Structure 1
Amino acid sequence: MSRDEAVRAMLVLMPRVAQRLKRTTVPEQLRSMNLAPRHLSLLSHLVFDGPALVSELAERLEVAPTTVSLMVADLSRQGVVERRVDPADRRRTIVSITEDPETRDAINGWLARGADSWEKALDPLTPEERAMFVRTMTAYERGASGAAD
């Protein structure tokens, strides 16, 4: 496939992917919480990587710590995440998914659909090809957002 053919294919495919993602239904238990994609990214990190400091989440999400603090405060008020003081340094806050089983199951189920799709799509690729794909998607996202390399 030539570069031009690949660009055309991706220009046709990406709007369909975006529409499908927009139609992904939020689990009933989470609907009243008005969760946005940024919340899903934060929750993904907590589910896959476990509890984290606000500063660690900010670094992973590539946003300012104040942005993460605002998201965490919002999710905490809604009972989705829990905050606790880091016993090693009381100035730091550790964030984790709530211990409430119903909410935790709803979050895991919501994330599982996407994870299952990615596992199926990435499974036939070698580790090097997977890394290339992730780098390519990251470069596309940065370019589409107008961010400098």
Structure 2
Amino acid sequence: MILLMPRLMARSKRMPIPPQLQDFALTPRHLSLLALLLYDESATIKELAAQLQIASTTVSLMVGDLSRQGILERRDDERDRRRTIVTIADAHRAAIEGWLAAGADAWRTVFAPMSPAERALVIGALLAYERESMILTRQPD
């Protein structure tokens, strides 16, 4: 795992950004946000923050930046005008789908022969690693 994890992270950072998105200064942090919106179709800032496990203000700043660039669209929730629904702009959906498809396809291929219990074990191990690495790398106050 010590040898594998850095290779996996480096590979994900080298995923080429599609030409139609290269002028938008997208970074790896945008990848998770876009992936959530791609697979969930739409979400509120609060929902995105919970799924990404980051502050709502951080998500709001990212969404604002991507909205100004035309990558994301924001609209008021018809049922609750205080909530804002975020979606990927139709003009960029195909490019984002193509960008993220290779990673999604790789996970589908890996998980396909596994039982639900085996998939849960893999995901559980990765989550446990994430928790432990956060604890071990926490800086003292």
TM-score, with structure 1 as normaliser: 0.86
State the one-letter code of the partner of 1:107: I
1:96 maps onto 2:91 in alignment: no
| Structure 1 unmatched runs, 5+ | 1-9
How far the C-alpha of 1:50 sits from its partner, in A, is: 1.4
1:14 pairs with 2:5: yes
- 2:108 equivalent to 1:142: no
CA deviations on 1:47-104 (whole Å, 9 max, x unpaired) are 111111111111111111111100100110111110001111111100001021xx11
Q: Alpha-carbon deviation of 1:145?
A: 2.6
Amino acid at match of 2:66: L
**2:47 maps to which residue?**
56
Aligned to 1:6: none
In structure 1, the partner of 2:99 is: 110
Q: Which residue in 1 is equivalent to 2:25?
A: 34
SS in 1 for 2:10: helix
| Identity within the alignment, % | 53
Q: Secondary structure, in 3 states, of the residue corresponding to 2:76?
A: strand
Assess if the C-alpha contact under 8 Å between 2:45 and 2:84 holds in 1: yes
1:121 maps to which of 110, 113, 122: 110
Which 4+ runs in 1 deviate beyond 6 A? none
In structure 2, list runs of 5 or more residues that go unmatched.
none
CA RMSD of aligned residues (A): 1.5
- Length, aligned pairs only: 137
Counterpart AA for 1:120: T
